[in-house]
Structure formats: structure tokens, C-alpha cells
């Protein structure tokens, strides 16, 4: 009787453990977490389509093509408060200097998804 109980326990363990092992192996095949990068530099080529925004930033650590699926959800700030009302990134960001935090992406036509933008104040104004 003890052997039968031991055999049944082993069968249950094998039927549960093997599918879990296959599941864990599939998870290990997923690429590592994407990297968060801070880039500071000049902004250019800002384009918007609805709430989607694309831009380029020429930073000391490289030139990056960046994307925001919905720029209204991106934290946008200025190191000194904006001079007049709400900042409109689609029309006011081009030509400015900013610090942008983004998360890298793979297999896209851009290098990363924008997480936050800190626009630097214009000196001498």
C-alpha cells in the first residue's frame, strides 16, 4: 500500500512539475528588461499625429529617435515654470534643449519610449 501511495505521489509530482518547468524555460527565453536611459541635448524633428509624438534628441551619449504613444501621459516639466500657460510639445519642443528619460525598445523604427521630458529654460530671456 505504501508503494502504491509513493507511486501515485510521484506521478502527481511529475504531471505538475514538468509543465511548470516548460513554462519557466519559455519565460527565460524573453529578452532582459529594457534599459532606462537619460539623454540631454537638442530636440529636433518633432512630429505629432493625434496624441502620438516622435522626435530626435542629439545628446552627449548619442542621437536617439524617440516615441510617445500618448504624449499627454508623458511627464513634461521645465526647470523654471513655463512662461505662458500650458506647454504644447508638438509645436514648442522643436529647437529646445531638454533632458528626456526613455526606455529602450527592440524591433521598432525608433530607439525608445519617452517616459519624461524636462525642458531647459532659454538663457537670456
Task: Indicate whether 51 and 22 sit together in one domain.
Answer: no
User: Quick one: which H or E segment has residue 62?
Assistant: strand 62-68
CA distance 24 to 26: 5
Task: Indicate whether 26 and 48 sit together in one domain.
Answer: no
The pLDDT assigned to 58 comes to 96
Task: Indicate whether 23 and 65 sit together in one domain.
Answer: no
The length of the chain, given as a count of residues: 125
Tell me what the mean pLDDT of segment 82-87 comes to: 66
Report yes or no on whether pTM surpasses 0.85: no
The pLDDT assigned to 121 comes to 74
Task: Indicate whether 11 and 72 sit together in one domain.
Answer: no
Confidence band, pLDDT 50/70/90 cuts, at residue 81:
low
Q: Is residue 40 part of a domain?
A: yes
Show the beta-strand stretches assigned E in 1-125: 36-49, 52-59, 62-68, 75-78, 97-104, 112-119
Reported as a single tens digit per residue, the pLDDT across 12-59 is 655 544 444 433 333 343 345 679 999 999 999 999 999 999 999 999
Reported as a single tens digit per residue, the pLDDT across 88-113 is 899 999 999 999 999 999 999 999 99
CA distance 101 to 117: 7
Q: How many CB atoms neighbour CB 112 within 10 A?
A: 23
Query: Is the pLDDT assigned to residue 116 strictly greater than 90?
Result: yes
Q: Which domain holds residue 78?
A: 36-119
Task: Indicate whether 79 and 60 sit together in one domain.
Answer: yes
Amino acid at each position: 500500500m505504501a508503494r502504491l501511495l509513493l507511486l501515485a505521489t510521484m506521478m502527481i509530482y511529475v504531471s505538475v512539475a514538468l509543465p511548470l518547468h516548460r513554462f519557466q524555460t519559455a519565460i527565460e527565453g524573453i529578452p532582459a528588461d529594457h534599459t532606462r536611459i537619460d539623454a540631454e541635448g537638442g530636440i529636433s524633428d518633432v512630429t505629432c499625429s493625434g496624441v502620438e509624438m516622435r522626435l530626435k534628441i542629439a545628446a552627449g551619449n548619442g542621437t536617439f529617435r524617440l516615441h510617445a504613444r500618448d504624449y499627454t501621459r508623458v511627464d513634461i516639466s521645465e526647470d523654471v515654470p513655463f512662461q505662458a500657460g500650458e506647454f504644447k510639445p508638438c509645436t514648442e519642443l522643436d529647437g529646445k534643449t531638454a533632458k528626456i528619460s526613455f526606455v529602450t525598445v527592440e524591433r521598432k523604427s525608433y530607439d525608445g519610449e519617452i517616459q519624461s521630458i524636462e525642458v531647459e529654460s532659454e538663457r537670456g530671456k
